[in-house]
Structure 1
Amino acid sequence: MRHPMVVIVICDGNRPDFISDATTPEMAALKRTGTWFDNHRGIFPSATRASSAAIATGSYPLHHGLRGNSVGLPIPGGHEFHDAGKPEFYDTYRRHFGRMLTRPALAERVAGLNGAIISANVSPGAAFFHDSYGHGHMFHRELCYGPGRIPTGEQITSPSGAEGDAIMTERFLTALDGMRPSTATLWLSEPDKSMHAAPLGSDIHLDALRGADLLVGRVAQAVERLRDDGHDVLFMVGSDHGHEAVTEVIPVERRLFQAGFKKELESPEVIVTPQGGSAFIHFGGDALARRDEAAHWLREQPWVREVFMGEYLASLGQIPSDDILAIDMAKTEGTNINGVPGLSAMAVRFSETEDDIRQHCGVHGGRGAFETRPVLMATGRGFSGGRTVTDTTSIVDIAPTAMAHLGLAIEQVDGRALQGR
Structure 2
Amino acid sequence: MSHPIVVTMICDGHRPDFVSEATTPQMARLRQAGTWFADHRGIFPSATRASSASIATGCWPVSHGLRGNSVALPSAGGHHVHDAGMPEFFDTYRQHFGRLLMRPSLSARVSGLHGALLCSNVSPGAAWFHDADGHAELYHRELSYRPGREPLPAIDAPAGAKGDAVLTEQFITTLLERPPSVATLWLSEPDKTMHAFPLGSPQHLAALRVVDGHVGAVAGAVERLRDRGHEVLLMVGSDHGHESVTETVPVERRLFEAGFKAELESPDVVVACQGTSAFIHFGGDALARRDEVADWLGQQSWAGRIMRGEDLAALGQIPASDVLALDMAKSPGSNRNGVPGLTAMAVRFSETEDAVRRDCGMHGGLGRYETNPTLIAVGNGFAAGSVVTMQSRIIDLAPTALRHLGLPQDGLDGVALVASPG
TM-score in terms of structure 2 length: 0.99
Once residues 240 and 18 of structure 2 are traced to their aligned partners in structure 1, the CA distance between those partners, rounded to angstroms, is 13
Q: Distance in 2 between matches of 1:69 and 1:149?
A: 24
Q: How far is the alpha carbon of 1:285 from its aligned partner?
A: 1.2
Matches within 5 A, 1:357-376: 357-376=356-375
Q: Deviations over 1:199-227 (max 9, x none)?
A: 00001100110000000000000000000
Q: Is the 8 A contact 2:328 2:345 kept in 1?
A: yes
Kindly state the Cα deviation for residue 33 of structure 1 after the two structures are TM-superposed: 1.1
Paired position in structure 1 for 2:149:
149
Say whether 1:313 aligns with 2:312.
Answer: yes
Per the TM alignment, residue 32 of structure 1 is displaced from its structure 2 partner at its CA by 1.0
Instruction: Map 1:24-39 onto structure 2 (within 5 A).
Output: 24-39=24-39
For residue 311 of structure 1, report the CA deviation from its aligned partner: 3.0
Deviation at 1:310, TM superposition (A): 3.3
Structure 1 match to 2:290: 291
Q: Is the 8 A contact 2:388 2:419 kept in 1?
A: no
The CA distance in 1 between the partners of 2:37 and 2:307, in whole Å, is 29
Q: Please give the secondary structure, in 1, of the residue aligned with 2:158.
A: coil
SS in structure 2 at match of 1:59: coil
Q: Is this contact kept in 1: 2:52–2:126, CA < 8 A?
A: yes
Residue 353 of structure 1: aligned partner: 352
Q: Are the aligned partners of 2:273 and 2:346 in contact in 1 as well (CA < 8 Å)?
A: yes
Counterpart in the other structure of 2:129: 129
Correspondence for 1:214: 213
Q: CA deviation at 1:28?
A: 0.6
The worse-fitting range, judged by mean Cα deviation, of 364-373 and 303-312 is 303-312
**Residue aligning to 2:12:** 12
Aligned ranges 1:67-216 → 2 under 5 Å: 67-152=67-152, 154-216=153-215
1:270 maps to 269
How far has the Cα of 1:299 moved from its partner?
A: 1.2
- Distance in 1, Cα, partners of 2:150 & 2:44: 32
1:88 aligns to what SS in structure 2?
A: helix
Q: What is residue 238 of structure 1 aligned with on the other side? A: 237
Q: 8 Å contact 2:69–2:274 — kept in the other structure?
A: yes
Give yes or no for contact 2:277–2:326 (8 Å, CA) kept in 1.
Answer: yes
Work out the percentage of aligned pairs sharing the same amino acid: 65
**1:20–1:420 distance in 2 versus 1, CA, 3 Å:** closer
TM-score, normalised to structure 1, is: 0.99
Return the letter of the residue paired with 2:126: A
1:416 is aligned to: 415
Counterpart of 1:3? Answer: 3
C-alpha distance in 1 between matches for 2:5 and 2:310: 39
**Structure 1 residues 131-158: Cα deviation after superposition (integer angstroms, max 9, x where no partner):** 1010111100000011112212x11111
The root-mean-square deviation of aligned C-alpha atoms, in Å, is: 0.6
Cα distance in structure 2, aligned partners of 1:269 and 1:311: 19
**Contact 2:41–2:391 under 8 Å retained in 1:** yes
Aligned counterpart, 2:327 = 328
1:241-263 Cα deviation digits (max 9, x unpaired): 00000000000000000010101
**Shift in Å, 1:420:** 4.1
The gaps in structure 1 that reach 5 residues or longer are none
Aligned to 2:396: 397
Instruction: Select between 292-301 and 8-17 the one with higher mean Cα deviation.
Output: 292-301
- The answer (yes or no) to whether the contact 2:171–2:185 under 8 Å persists in 1 is yes
Q: Structure 2 unaligned runs (5+)? A: none
Aligned length: 420
Give the secondary structure class of the aligned counterpart of 2:331: strand
CA distances 1:273-302 after superposition (whole Å, capped 9, x unpaired): 100110000000110111111111111111
Write the deviation string for residues 20-48 of structure 1: whole angstroms up to 9, x where unpaired.
10000000110111000000000000000
Counterpart secondary structure, 2:87? coil
Task: Tell whether 2:69 aligns with 1:63.
Answer: no
